[in-house]
Amino acid sequence: MASKICLVLHRKSANELPVKEAVKYVRQQGIDLRVRIPWNKKDKPRVVQEALDAGAKRVVAGGGDGTINAVVNALVGKGKKAPRASMGILPLGTANDFAHGLGLPVDDLGQCLEIACTRKPKKIDVGRAGSRCFINVTSGGFGAEITATTPVDMKKKLGGAAYTIMGLIKAFDLQPYTGRLLVPGEEPVEGSMLVMAVGNSRLAGGGFEVAPKARLDDGLLDLAVVQNLGIADVAQLAKELETPDSPDNQFLAYRQLAEFTLEADREVHFNLDGEPTSKSKLKFSVLPKHLRVVF
């Protein structure tokens, strides 16, 4: 396996000293690690495919959640068959929510890269939102709008939690989205939404546990919807996140589903593992235990 590992590295991270030291460290352990640096976001699928064509059995995503998402989509494609390569993670993002959720030692890049190169992979679910894949969380509503419109440099200065809170504060001043939840075999559920999360894993927005019951291999996606809410209700919402499926919850609606569609009366901003999009209707589904990931 040592000669069959490729690190796909975010271009802006390539010259950072901790990254260079991590690569040097694993190579000193006798691991023949190839490093490829895509020119831009659109170039990442090509680089991953070239690595696979060259015989890579493991592709390590070196970057933030957006880079991980790009590698996942390149590996999974249309999802008709399981990828022939496994995936490792070198967390280099602002929040590194997925890596934190996996329990990776995100403050030790050398150890993270060694784990990515050497540890046995585990099968996890892959979520699908429309034609795109995600393995962490898809968020929607005003928080996702803030994330989509906040410059990268500002995100780094604020930190993930800060700009997510900005999104919540903005949501208090705006009219909620209205729409419906469509689940196969059930009647449509009408309702309103300020913010929402569809979790394959638990964490988003800088460590917030937005889908507390989510598991990576249960064949389900966790849908959490925050409905009408005022600033004075935030403490109550925090309590409801501790018991997300309680029938007594006032502001949080929580479901675990294998397939559903969200339909809104106007376009909603969504953020798929760091990749923004805008839709008025989006179908979600899951590919059970479809991707092998190292953690």
In this predicted model, what pLDDT tens digit does every residue of 31-51 receive, in sequence order?
999 999 999 989 999 999 999
CA 149 to chain centre: 18
The pLDDT of residue 295: 97
Position 168 pLDDT exceeds 90: no
The pLDDT of residue 235: 83
Q: Considering the chain, what is the average pLDDT of its residues? A: 89
The pLDDT of residue 195: 86
Nearest one of 148, 154, 136, 53 to 98, comparing CA atoms: 136
Q: Which is more confidently placed, 147 or 36? A: 36
The pLDDT of residue 194: 85
Q: Out of 24-33, 187-196, 252-261, which region has the weakest mean confidence (pLDDT)?
A: 187-196
Identify the band that residue 208 occupies on the pLDDT scale cut at 50, 70 and 90: confident
Domains of the chain in start order, with CATH, are: 2-119 (3.40.50.10330), 134-288 (2.60.200.40)
Q: Which is more confidently placed, 194 or 49? A: 49
Nearest one of 108, 247, 211 to 99, comparing CA atoms: 108
**Cβ proximity of 205 and 164 under 8 Å:** yes
> Which pairing describes strands 5-9 and 33-36: parallel, antiparallel, or unpaired?
parallel
The pLDDT of residue 3: 58
Pair of tokens at residue 42: 């659109």
80-116: pLDDT as tens digits: 999 999 999 999 998 999 999 999 999 999 999 999 9
Identify the band that residue 152 occupies on the pLDDT scale cut at 50, 70 and 90: low
Active site residue 240: no
Cα–Cα distances in angstroms (integers) from residue 52 to residues 7, 44, 210, in the given order: 12, 12, 34
Q: How many CB atoms lie within 10 A of CB 117?
A: 22
Position 169 pLDDT exceeds 80: no
> Which residue is catalytic, options 145, 209, 240, 275?
275
Q: What is the mean pLDDT of residues 222-238?
A: 83
